[in-house]
Structure 1
Amino acid sequence: MLKQVSAVLALVISSQASALSIDLGPATGYNLFIKENFTQPGADSQGKIAIGGNANIGQYDVGVNYEPGTHRDGIQFWTDPKKYSDVLVVGGDLTTTQWAWGNVKGNLILGGELTAGSSKNAVLGTTTKAKPIDFTSAFEQFTELSKTLAGEANTGGVEFKYNNWLMLNGTADSDIYIANITGQMLGAATDLTAKGLDKNDTLIINVSGKNINFDSLNYGARENYSALDLSASHILYNFFEAENITFSGGIKGNILAPNANFTFLQGDLSGQVIAKSWTAGWGAQANLWDGFFVPPVDIPPTPTTPPVVTVPEPTSIILLLVGLLALVMVRRLRA
């Protein structure tokens, strides 16, 4: 069972900073972290989900990579069959279809009730009545974090070429690159490149606008720009003004939209989403990602142990020389 925790946010970001540190408290480790209501009839999330309000999941599969005995793409979180994790937290009531069976791939922590007509067999693991997360406190701090990030200036040049190509012309400052764009630019963009960034950098894209509609964004090579070599854990889209966001298509990166109603029409979203509410369709897939701002770990090579050479003691050396000398004398006498 999850323990009672409060969101603790720590942000270090300046020209002298050597790292960006964001502690998301109870949101850490969740594919989706939603303040109010959640509605999605089908599809699935590969990671865990936390919802502060009511959840209508229909036949939606929650935490499919936590299900024992399966071999899906990505990290397999389960260890042994029947050892389930807490994969779904719902502060309010939960609704499923009446024929749902095992679509919550682990334990359920439920603050409200299982609504009438819902399947009692929807949860593979156990169901515990509790409210382990203070969503109100968490989202107050997420809002402050979002505003703080939005107040940062561009690290380098931001060009919107051909009205569809976001080009970041610069290098990271202390491994951090800040880019400020509008919601209209994001909605029209098809490509994003940044040849001055490498896998150790963190890209924060502040997106202005209250009502934003965007879709797929390609990080591949274009013209003389190479592909963006960043994992989803090192990309953050900060929708600091957004009240409504509509997304469809494919994108990788984390989304911080603490005051936005997030509508996911269809496609693949690889990253963590923090939003006010969530509404999605059957074709909306929340893919597994590799953590939120977890720096890559360079494993040092295993040191080679030199062979141990045993040095004979002085007495042993003398005895050896005496023996050799005696052998030589015997051979001479025989000759």
Structure 2
Amino acid sequence: MLKQVSAILALSISTHAGAISIDLGAATGYNLFIKENFTQPGADSQGKIAIGGNANIGQYDVGVNYEPGTWRDGKQFWTEPGKYSDVLVVGGDLTTTQWAWGNVKGNLILGGELTQGSSKNAVLGSTTKATPIDFNAAFTQFNALSQTLAGQSNTGGLEFKYNNWLILDGASSNDIYVANITGQMLANATDLTAKGLDQNDTLIINVSGKNINFDSLNYGKRESFDALDMSASNILYNFFEAENITFSGGIKGNILAPNANFTFLQGDLSGQVIAKSWTGGWGAQANLWDGFFVPPVEPPPTPTTPPAVVVPEPSAVMLLLFGLLALIVIRCKRA
């Protein structure tokens, strides 16, 4: 199951077609993993980003991990002050605005150059010249995985009620549930419910179509169906045919779209995105799963130590009186 908060890790699932191995290898731990170019003028990502081509991040913040809807910091990408993790990998050139200052909340690994006019103060940590990721090999793997998942049949029944409500009717098989839908169904859908799934299952939704435009999808209670009790890290949308995807709104779940140019207009996307290219708007925020933010823990109250009782030392006069009394008792016994 996709239980790790930081990534979709190796997974073997048993279906009618046998065992499938899900291993996102190089993309493990990244909020966004993009094969070619990346453009976004502002907003932020909660997690780390890897880009194979050129990147223009403008005033975009990378690796902030704010609590959604607030400015409160969560767990940052370092263990000690001044010791940062690698939060941004760019295979080509990187462009920021001249006003960028500490936008990259960690270290930068850069294959190309900071282009003319970019702020050299944009990186909070260090900058290293290197190309540590083989994006071509990684996306060869992702394409094979995407097609393998697309070949799986529905685990249970699927109803598209009122032309806006996806209802999955069935129980998972070996903790896996596969649902096959069209891009038009996703575009029209406002709700998704599945009474047979729980937080221990993994939901794989295969979405067909080359050009897909969709927005928010609600997993809450509707009519007699309870809310879908699953973490975003356990939901994978597989866009196995997509060439262009446009998204705006709010959704929780991981997106595998290895051949798609992904355009994120605005909203809040909680999950990992693997795509060919990325174009984002000022209001497009990416969160690393729905559980990555680690709120500060209030320290336990310091136990109060009861005041020590001070026993006064006997005075010299009292010692003298006790001594005289002892002498009197001894003499009386001898008499």
- Report the TM-score, using the length of structure 1 for normalisation: 0.80
Q: Which stretches of structure 1, 4 residues or longer, exceed 4 Å deviation after superposition?
A: 16-21
1:74, distance to aligned residue in structure 2 (A): 4.8
Pairs aligned (count): 282
Task: Give me the identity figure in percent.
Answer: 86
Q: 1:192: which partner in 2? A: 192
Q: Counterparts of 2:220 and 2:270 in 1: how far apart (Å)?
A: 16
CA spacing shift, 1:18–1:153, aligned 2, 3 Å = closer
Could you report, residue by residue, the CA deviation over 1:226-279 in whole angstroms, capped at 9, with x for unpaired residues?
A: 000110110000000000000000000000000000000000000000000000
One-letter identity of the residue aligned with 1:24: L
CA spacing shift, 1:291–1:131, aligned 2, 3 Å = farther
Q: Given the alignment of the two structures, is residue 130 of structure 1 paired with residue 130 of structure 2, yes or no?
A: yes
Q: 2:312: which partner in 1? A: none
Q: Counterparts of 2:52 and 2:60 in 1: how far apart (Å)?
A: 18
Q: Given the alignment of the two structures, is residue 40 of structure 1 paired with residue 40 of structure 2, yes or no?
A: yes
Could you report, residue by residue, the CA deviation over 1:156-175 in whole angstroms, capped at 9, with x for unpaired residues?
A: 00100000000000000110
Bigger fraction of residues in strand: 2
1:79, distance to aligned residue in structure 2 (A): 2.4
Alignment gaps of 5+ in structure 1 = 1-8, 293-335
Q: How does 1:68-217 map to 2 (within 5 A)?
A: 72=72, 74-217=74-217
Alignment gaps of 5+ in structure 2 = 1-8, 293-335
Q: Given the alignment of the two structures, is residue 254 of structure 1 paired with residue 254 of structure 2, yes or no?
A: yes
Q: 1:271: which partner in 2? A: 271
Q: Counterparts of 2:77 and 2:17 in 1: how far apart (Å)?
A: 34
Q: 2:24: which partner in 1? A: 24
1:121, distance to aligned residue in structure 2 (A): 0.4
Q: Counterparts of 2:172 and 2:73 in 1: how far apart (Å)?
A: 32
CA spacing shift, 1:85–1:30, aligned 2, 3 Å = same
1:220, distance to aligned residue in structure 2 (A): 0.1
Q: 1:282: which partner in 2? A: 282
1:287, distance to aligned residue in structure 2 (A): 1.2
Check conservation: 2:30, 2:50, Cα contact below 8 A: yes
Secondary structure in structure 2 of the residue aligned to 1:205: strand
Q: How does 1:302-321 map to 2 (within 5 A)?
A: none
Could you report, residue by residue, the CA deviation over 1:26-77 in whole angstroms, capped at 9, with x for unpaired residues?
A: 10000000000000000000100000000000000000139xxx98365444
Secondary structure in structure 1 of the residue aligned to 2:79: coil
Secondary structure in structure 1 of the residue aligned to 2:139: helix
1:15, distance to aligned residue in structure 2 (A): 3.2
Could you report, residue by residue, the CA deviation over 1:178-224 in whole angstroms, capped at 9, with x for unpaired residues?
A: 00000000000000000100100000000000000000000000011
1:22, distance to aligned residue in structure 2 (A): 2.3
Check conservation: 1:17, 1:174, Cα contact below 8 A: no
Check conservation: 1:15, 1:173, Cα contact below 8 A: yes
RMSD, aligned CA: 2.2
